A and B are shown apart, each in its own frame.
Chain A
Amino acid sequence: MKFSLGKFLLPTYVALAFVFTMIPIVYTFVFSFNEVNKSNIAWKRFTFDNWLYVCNKQEVCEAFGNSIAIAVIATAISTALGTAIAIALGRYRFKGRSVTNLLLFLPMATPEVVMGAGLAAQFLNVGVAKGFWTIVVAHVMFTLSFVVVTVKARVATLDPKLEEAGRDLYGNASQVFWKITFPLLLPGIAAAAMLSFALSFDDFIITQFNSGPETTFPKFVYTAAVRGIPPEANVVGSGVFIVAIAIVMIVQVRASRKAKRLAK
């Protein structure tokens, strides 16, 4: 057989690669059920207690709450700013387009440690005390470009004739935007918001440089790693994983249903 290599070797390889990528996820999940006295290294006994009483480990819950609050605020701001830029890039001609593209590309091509240290140096030079809001400022900065890229892809698929039709029917600019453009862009905006939330929630390096005494979930894990990470942290990590996978699956099922309906 000419393609026997591709027929058996490749699927086997891909299956093994996925087993490999899943190992740490399964490990984290399994060890969230471990009964622990001191450190969560060796397996002792199965228990639901870590899940039922996550907030007994107060630092974990507090850090988790902070991370959620920061991610929500940063996502709202960066989604608004980024969507505006994406619409401008996809819909309007203007001078300085290549400079704009470069400015948007640069944050994605800059190592986090450089952005983190740079912003921290700026806060230091200006004399701003670091805390909750400096983390928000930092997160909006590094998520903005990702929002633009994601929404821009959606703007590109939008048929300008639909907006023209709206104007022909005497819709004013704001009616055309809110009744036509915005609803059509919504899936792209939602995807961008989810991406931005995920990036903000999981960020560690930029956060460490700009957080001062404020803690976030990744920062808690990093600090706790010296002595060993408590199982409650595994609970939070696994819980977030399950919720995120559920959201992705719902989105995919709905998208495939919609595709089927449109095909009919």
Chain B
Amino acid sequence: MAFVALGQGSAGSATPTKTSRVAFILLAPGLIYLGLFFLTPLVSLIITSLKVSSPTGEIGMYDFGFELGNYAYAIGQYLPQILRSFTYAIIATVMALMISYPIAYFIGVKARNKPLLQAMLLTLVIAPFFISFLLRTFAWKQIFSNDSPVTNFLHTIGLLAPDQYVIGTPFAVVFGLTYNFIPFMTLPIYTSLERLDIRLLEAGSDLYATPAKTFWKVTFPLSLPGVISGTLLTFIPISGDYVNASRDFLGGSDTAMIGNVVEANFFRIQDYPTASALSVMLMAAIVVLVSMYVRKSGTEDLL
């Protein structure tokens, strides 16, 4: 069909064909939708981040402006939370990678000839997705709550000092972040290990490479695309999360991340410019990071 050239095409194609018109009709609704409700909101965010307080001084009322000072204010006010977000996100991503890689390796390589086992294990990997994200996180809060058997046990064996508790600490927040995003890390790594040719590993050992050497020289480099997309799929949502760090869940007074500050500014203080400036900066940081990754692997692969 790609060879049938018919009359006038649209979509600004160089060779007007029937197919380019069909493609345009198929693409337009979805892409226009994303333009209206994904792209222009990002522009709205930038516009809002530059707004100035209304002269009437009413709460939540702002006029259009070009107040770059909003960014300076946001950084000055919330630098600890900004740095904390990225610190937590880096630690949780590395933890998730270390927990997920062996799981993905086992399912993708060791269980390869047992389709039933493989299917069952994959179901187990995605099982946490089927229970509400918030209920899962709240369950950990209950398990580690101050009077819980687990916390009492940690006190008894002396791992926690009598006046120390788990909930409200950076440890609890990073723990929750790691737990919640393990499937996002496991699945892409599994996908690339699934395609790994086992004969390459045999070749490695035939050439007298130790298992460790075969792993680092053959297996790991070949699984790198999965590791890269897993890292992105974990790091990005973690850096913007505010459920785990919320005081009603695993966080405390000193664990707030960017998301918590954006939420508080948007809903409680109604300081939309500061909330928007923080969001724009988070997005900018992510774009820099993603484009560094994309340069290595290409968007088509990530999709």
Contacts and interface: CB of A to CB of B under 8 A. Distances in A.
A169 B248 CA distance: 64
A169 to B, nearest CB: 14
Nearest to B106: A14
B24 interface: yes
A237 B135 contact: yes
A81 B33 CA distance: 9
A21 B124 contact: yes
B303 A229 contact: no
Contact of A115 (B38, B125, B182, B259): B38
A20 B182 CA distance: 11
A198 B128 CA distance: 12
Contact of A113 (B33, B44, B240): B240
A245 interface: yes
Interface string A100-121: 1111111101111111011111
Nearest to A147: B30
B192 interface: no
A128 B266 CA distance: 16
Interface string A142-164: 00100011001000000000011
Nearest to B45: A118
A182 interface: no
Given A109-B286, A118-B41, A23 B143 contact: yes
A244 B130 contact: yes
B72 interface: no
A28 B47 contact: no
Q: Majority SS of interface residues in chain A?
A: helix
A262 interface: no
Interface string B12-44: 111000011011101101110111011111101
B27 A24 contact: no
A246 B21 CA distance: 42
A10 B102 contact: yes
A100 B132 CA distance: 32
B71 interface: no
B59 interface: no
8 contacts: A18-B124, A92-B23, A101-B300, A110-B236, A122-B37, A163-B1, A202-B133, A205-B240
Interface of A: 2-3, 5-6, 10-11, 13-14, 17-18, 20-25, 27-28, 31, 41-42, 81-82, 84-85, 87-88, 91-96, 98, 100-107, 109-115, 117-122, 124-125, 137-138, 140-141, 144, 148-149, 152, 163-164, 167, 198, 202, 204-205, 208-209, 217-218, 221-222, 225-226, 229, 233-234, 237-238, 240-241, 244-245, 248-249, 252, 256
Interface of B: 1-2, 11-14, 19-20, 22-24, 26-27, 29-31, 33-35, 37-42, 44-45, 47-48, 99, 102-103, 105-107, 110, 115-116, 119, 121, 123-140, 142-143, 145, 147, 179, 182, 205, 211, 232, 236-237, 239-243, 246, 248-249, 258-259, 262-263, 266, 272, 275-276, 279, 282-283, 286, 290, 299-300, 302-303
